[in-house]
Amino acid sequence: MPHHPNSNDPIGVFDSGLGGLTVVKELFMSLPEENIIYFGDTARVPYGTKSRETIIRYSREIVSVLLKHKVKMIVVACNTASSLALDVLQKECPVPIIGVIDPGAKKAALSTKSKKVGIIATQSTVKSGKYAKRLKDFEPKVHVISQPCPLFVPLVEEGWFDHDITFRVAKEYLADFKKEGIDTLILGCTHYPLLRKTIARVMGSKVTLIDSAREVAMEVKEILGAQKMLRHDRKSPEHMYLVSDEPEIFKFRAVRFLGTSVKNVKRV
């Protein structure tokens, strides 16, 4: 049966765990009227150390769950899945599906004047080369420097956003960027916006930080607007969270990402 989404249908968002909630938070701000269904694959998190084949399989399973919930659009709010699985998903998915790579890459290409752009991300996102490739598509003259920062996610999960140790780890990871003179830095992992202040302190005010979560929320707004699919309903919007592991752990940890508590968490 063909899928006929209408404007009241929810936006589906998924991630390997909780990081994608930074995208949900941005959607709350730019599209406060939208219904949102978030899927966090908490039983199989993280994706960053897994193979392409495994990531594609997991992502397909999640997309089919979201489609059963009649989403009108899907955001792959996971950099690893966006790097490794989005092209496959886009061929199969009956509703618009976008990832977090393109919006961040596009914004960075527009922002850089020195044509030197830095990217920080997980090991697998850096290894995929997708950010660098898309940046060059948007701005062929750009010189791209990438740096995996595997300790940033655990530091966020420890809640050490402004901790002195986090500052020192950031100084170590970001040292080459300072030497190379980049003027734009992409936060290429959904956890990183929570370290924005510390990263800004290391990089200084002359470097523009590109927050992929924010850029992807803007892109969702543009796409739904162009398709006349923005929700206009007097009823207040509904937000639902689906997880593959224990809902209570998710609830407890989600507050840190959303800045507000979540209800309506279901295990699937």
What amino acid positions are annotated as catalytic residues? 78, 189
Residue 143 has phi, psi (to 5 degrees) of -105, 120
Out of 155, 185, 195, 216, the only residue in the binding site for a second copy (CB under 8 A) is: 155
Tell me which of 151, 218, 230, 240 binds a second copy, using CB under 8 A: 151
Inter-residue contact 78 to 47 (CB < 8 Å) = yes
> CB of 92: closest distance to a second copy in angstroms?
22
For a second copy, the closer CB: 28 or 250: 250
Q: Does 147 bind a second copy (CB under 8 A)?
A: no
Size, binding site for a second copy by CB under 8 A: 24
Nearer to a second copy, 149 or 186 (CB): 149
Residues 14-43 that bind a second copy (CB under 8 A): 42-43
230 binds a second copy (CB under 8 A): no
Please report how close the Cβ of residue 63 comes to a second copy at its closest, in angstroms.
19
Q: Does 172 bind a second copy (CB under 8 A)?
A: yes
Phi, psi of 118 (to 5 degrees): -100, 150
Residues 6+ apart with CB under 8 A from 120: 146, 147, 148, 149, 152, 173, 174, 185, 186, 187, 188, 189, 192, 199
Q: Which is closer to a second copy, CB of 157 or CB of 183?
A: 157
Applying CB under 8 A, the span of 48-56, 77-85, 131-139, 192-200 interacting with a second copy comes to 48-56
Work out whether strand 184-187 and strand 208-211 pair parallel, antiparallel, or are unpaired.
parallel
Candidate residues 7, 8, 54, 147; the one interacting with a second copy per rule CB under 8 A: 54
> Min. distance of Cβ 266 from a second copy in angstroms?
14
State the Cα–Cα distance between residues 112 and 139, nearest whole angstrom. Answer: 9
Concatenated DSSP letters for 191-256?
A: TGGGGHHHHHHHH-TTSEEEEHHHHHHHHHHHHHHHTT-----SSPP-EEEEESS-HHHHHHHHHH
Long-range residue pairs from 61-65, CB within 8 A, at least 24 positions apart, any chain: 62/14, 63/14, 63/89, 63/92, 63/93, 63/97, 65/39, 65/242, 65/268
> Judged by CB under 8 A, which of 129, 154, 181, 225 binds a second copy?
154
- 163: phi then psi, degrees, rounded to nearest 5: -65, 150
DSSP state of 194: G
- The answer to whether the beta carbons of residues 128 and 83 sit under 8 Å apart is yes
Nearer to a second copy, 25 or 253 (CB): 253
- When asked if residue 158 is in the footprint of a second copy (CB under 8 A), the reply is yes
Among 45, 85, 119, 220, binds a second copy (CB under 8 A): 45
Shortest separation between residue 244's beta carbon and a second copy, angstroms: 8
- Provide the binding-site residues for a second copy, judged by CB under 8 A: 42-46, 49-51, 53-54, 150-151, 153-155, 157-158, 165, 168-169, 172, 245-246, 249
